[in-house]
Each structure stands twice: as structure tokens, then as C-alpha cells.
Amino acid sequence: MPARVTAREIIKQSSQGVSVQPFLIRGDDNQTYFVKGLSRALAPGLTSEVLAAELGAHLGLPIPPWALMDIPKGLIDFSLVPNVRDLEGGPAFASLQVDNASDVSWAHVEKIPADLKKKVLLFDWWIGNGDRGLGPMGGNVNLILDQGGNLAVIDHNIAFDSELDADEFRRYHVFRDQLSTKTSELLARLDFLTQLDAALADWDRITSLLPEEWVRRDFGHGEEYEPTLAERYQLLERFKEEQFWGRL
């Protein structure tokens, strides 16, 4: 089972994020987390976060450790932090804070190891995540650097988009320089097939980590939210098809 912590202090709402701005919260384990609540991020978004974190671990991606967080109603009721009601609704997704982190900018991109950039590019295409764009004028990159300059990969609440536009993905992804060319297939599938297979083989364990109220409506007793777990699995199976690799 995943780590489960209880909120002890709601510190502030972060300025990070576009559709969902997480809260900085201290848990009863004395760790500080960036937390997305069920009321704002919604069940499908929180499910995407967990699936991405666990699948990314199989690829060796530097995704911060995560936990389920219970936030006592009294803590919300007496908090003066703006928009605190975003944390209501049930268990929240908590991503361990990366201390002294800074956002990745265009100037940092060329310094990130090519193998890691390839892996992030493949991962985003695999999970249907179009939320990592960056250009000279900026963007929503969802990558941070710790104080030692090491990359951390964050924010996957809008992943599993079955309608992700391949052309836009290729045009705007922060690591589009790693896309294959006619003269050099930089993203060789054989380097990753074993990892993708192993990740998908772990699907039952991964999905068992999800709170039932994130999977089904009516507090876990109704129909599945869309995309359903079966639809998400089907999206991930694309790596077995030639067309999946042809886009990279």
C-alpha cells in the first residue's frame, strides 16, 4: 500500500500550476508535500498522478515520492489560506517537496543528459501527456531542478489524453530535440521495450494503490470515472504497435 499521511499544517497555496495550483502542506510525518485536493483536481486527475508516478518509476524517471494525504475537516475549516476548500472531498494526492527547487528554463535544456531527455519524451508520449511544452518565450514545462541541478519530473494530472495531437506534441515538447530523424533514430525502441513491458505487467499492483473514490463515482460505489482504468490500459498498450514508434 502507498504511504498514507495526515495533514498537520496547511502552509500556503503554491503559484505553480495552471488548472490546478497545489497546496504546500506539512504532514504528520514532518515532511512537506505539494498537495492536490479531490475537490479541485478531481478524481481522474489524481488517478493520473498516481499512475504516472508508478509507471515512471519503472522507467527510472526522477519523479518525487508520493503519498495519499488525509486532510481533517477542522484543519480546512479553520485555515485562512485562500482557496483551501479545493482540498475537500476525500483523500488527496501528495508529492514530496523538492527543497530549494527552481523551474527548468530554456537555458537549462541543453545541460540535461540526452538519455534522460529521451526517456521523458517517450514517457509523455506513452501516457498521453501534452503538458510539458517549452519554447524561447516560455511555457508550462512541469520540470524542476533541485539545489544540485538534478531534474525532477512533476505534474501529470492531465495525462492519459487519448486525443493528444501528435503534431502539437512534436512541435512543443520541451525535449523535442530528441525526436528521431531520417539519419539517426535517436529514440530506439529496443532500449525501452523491456521497461515498458515490465511497467505494464505491474498494472494490477499499481491500480490497487488507488482509493476507490478516485476510481468510481458516488464515493466509490458508482460507475467508473472516464477514462476508465481499462481505457487507460488500452492507451498504454500502444507501444506494441508500429504507429506508436513512428510518431517518435
| Alpha-carbon gap, residue 8 to 188, rounded angstroms | 46
Going from the C-alpha of 137 to that of each of 103, 158, 175, the distances in angstroms are: 14, 23, 15
What is residue 246's predicted lDDT score, i.e. its pLDDT? 83
pLDDT tens string 116-146: 999 999 999 999 999 999 877 778 899 999 9
**Total-model pTM:** 0.95
Of the candidates 160, 2, 146, 149, the one whose C-alpha atom is nearest the C-alpha of residue 66 is 2
| Cβ neighbours, 10 Å, residue 98 | 17
3-state helix, strand, coil in the chain (%, to 5): 40, 20, 40
Residue 185 has a CB neighbour count (10 Å cut-off) of 12
Q: Cell for 98?
A: 523538492
Is the omega angle on the peptide bond into residue 227 within 30 degrees of 0, that is, cis? yes
pLDDT value of residue 205 = 98
Question: Residue 48: its pLDDT value, please?
Answer: 99
Q: Give me the pLDDT at residue 186, please.
A: 45
Report, as ranges of residue numbers, the positions in the chain whose pLDDT lies below 50: 182-184, 186
- How many degrees, rounded to 5, is the angle at CA 158 between CA 130 and CA 101? 80
The reported pLDDT for the residue numbered 183 is 43
